[in-house]
Amino acid sequence: MITAVRIASSRAVRSAVVPRAVGATRSLAIGDSLASKEKVEEDRYIRAREAQIADSRIAESKARKAAADLAAADKARFAAKSAAMENIANMLARTGDVVSEAGLANLAKFIVCK
């Protein structure tokens, strides 16, 4: 008699637990689908952020290269002007003429810009 009561009560417990477990599985399935949608959105945000970072690094690299090119061009221009000033000063020294430093710079600028 006691075993019959135990079997009946265990069946009642199982029947009461099984529907709840199935319902819990459904809510977990919805939670899983929401979590997967959140994961997709997070991945999309991460990819967009990585693209922004890569673009900013590329822009920074281009800016550094442009600054270096500008500095090199300025250095070359200064070297050309200095060479022209030296040539003009040597020519004037041979002829015995004298020109001020500002005049010498203007002559060199005129020759270099040609």
pLDDT digits (tens, 9 = 90+) for 35-62: 888 899 999 999 999 999 999 999 999 9
Q: Which domain holds residue 100?
A: 2-113
The domain total for the chain is: 1
Residue from 78, 74, 85, 76 nearest 111 by CA: 85
Q: What does the pLDDT look like over 67-106, one tens digit per residue?
A: 999 999 999 999 999 999 999 999 988 988 888 889 888 8
- Angle between helix 101-113 and 2-95 (nearest 10): 110
pLDDT-based confidence at residue 34 (cuts at 50, 70, 90):
confident
